[in-house]
Amino acid sequence: MRDLFENTQPHDPVEAVRRGLRPVLRRRFYQRATTSSAADGHVVCLDSAPIRTLAGHALAAPTLALAEAIAAEWEAQRDVIDPANMPLTRLANAIIDGVAQAARPVAAEIEKYLASDLLFYRASTPEGLCARQARHWDPILTWAREVLGADFKLGEGVVYISQPPAALAAAATEIPSDYWRLGAVHAVTTLTGSALLALALARGRLSADETWQAAHVDEDWNMEQCGRDEIALARRAFSGAELQAAAAVLAMQV
C-alpha cells in the first residue's frame, strides 16, 4: 500500500494533459478484493490479506456498504493499479491516518472557510453572472439562515467581509464530530472553497452534482465567454471524482 500511494502519487491531470505523461504503475498482484468484519469495522482485503494505510492502520470502514465501495475500486483495477482512479481509497487513507488523529484542527480549518466562504463574495457585473450566482448561492444562504440560524453578510468583489460571530458559531455547530463525516466535509470544503456547500451536501440539502455546479459558477461563466480550457477541465474532472467520493462517504454514514 505504501509503495502504491506514497512513492507512486496519483498523476497530476494538468501534467497529463500538457505532456501526455503517466506515472510508472504497479501491476495488479491480487486475485480478488473483498471485505471482512473486524473489531475496528469492515476491513478491505486483497486475497484475504487486510490492506494497510500508509501509517499502517487497517483500511477499515465503519459500514459494510462503504467497505464494499472501496473494495470495488481495487477490483476495478485491471492490469495495473492506478491510484488516480481510486478517489474513495485515497480519501479513506486520509481520514484514517489524518482526520481520526487530529479531528479538532480539521474542524477548525472548516470554520476558517466559513469565515470567508465562496458564497459571500459576489460579482458586480456582468448581469448574467450576478444572476447565476444568485440562483445557485442564495438558496443555500437562505437555508443557512432559516435552518442553521446563521445569517451571513454579502459583499461585492474580493474585499474581506467580517461575518457576525453568532452566524459563524451557529454554522459551526453543523460541522460533524464523527471523523468519517468530518473528513468528507473537509474534503468537499477544500475542493469547492465553500464550507456552506459542504454542510448543505452533508445535510442532504444539495446533491453532489448540485454542489459541484454551485462551486463552479464563475468558472463555467468564464469558459462560456472565453472558450473551454482543456487543462482546467482535466483538473476539474479529477477533483470532481474526489467530491463524488466524499459524497459517497456522507451518503453511507447514517
Distance of alpha carbon 72 from the chain centroid: 19
In this prediction the pTM is 0.89
pLDDT at 11: 46
Q: What is the mean pLDDT of each run of 10 residues along the chain (254 residues)?
A: 54 45 82 93 95 95 96 96 95 96 96 97 96 98 98 94 97 97 98 98 97 96 88 90 97 70
pLDDT at 68: 97
Distance of alpha carbon 182 from the chain centroid: 11
What DSSP character marks residue 38? E
Nearest to 10 by CA among 101, 106, 88: 88
Instruction: Please state, in angstroms and rounded to a whole number, the distance separating the CA atoms of residues 120 and 64.
Output: 38
Instruction: Please state, in angstroms and rounded to a whole number, the distance separating the CA atoms of residues 97 and 51.
Output: 13
**Parallel, antiparallel or unpaired: strands 26-27 and 80-81:** antiparallel
Domain range list for the chain: 2-84, 101-252
Contact assessment for residue 41 and residue 30, using Cβ atoms and an 8 Å cutoff: no
For 163, phi then psi, to 5°, come to -95, 150
Identify the CATH class of 2-84. Answer: alpha beta
Please tell us whether the domain made up of 101-252 is placed in CATH 1.10.3580.10. Answer: yes
